[in-house]
Amino acid sequence: MDRKAKPIAKTGERNIYCPYYGGCLDHAVDHSWDSWNCSVCGHKMAERSLRERDYEITDTHLPPITRQ
Q: Cα 67 to the chain's mean position, in Å? A: 30
Q: Which residues contact 41 (CB under 8 A, 6 or more apart)?
A: 5, 6, 7, 20, 24
pLDDT by residue, tens only, the chain of 68 residues: 666 788 999 998 888 888 888 889 999 999 999 999 988 888 888 876 555 455 555 555 555 555 65
Residue 26 has what pLDDT? 92
Q: How far apart are CA 66 and CA 43, in angstroms?
A: 36
Residue 34 has what pLDDT? 92
Q: How many CB atoms lie within 10 A of CB 43?
A: 18
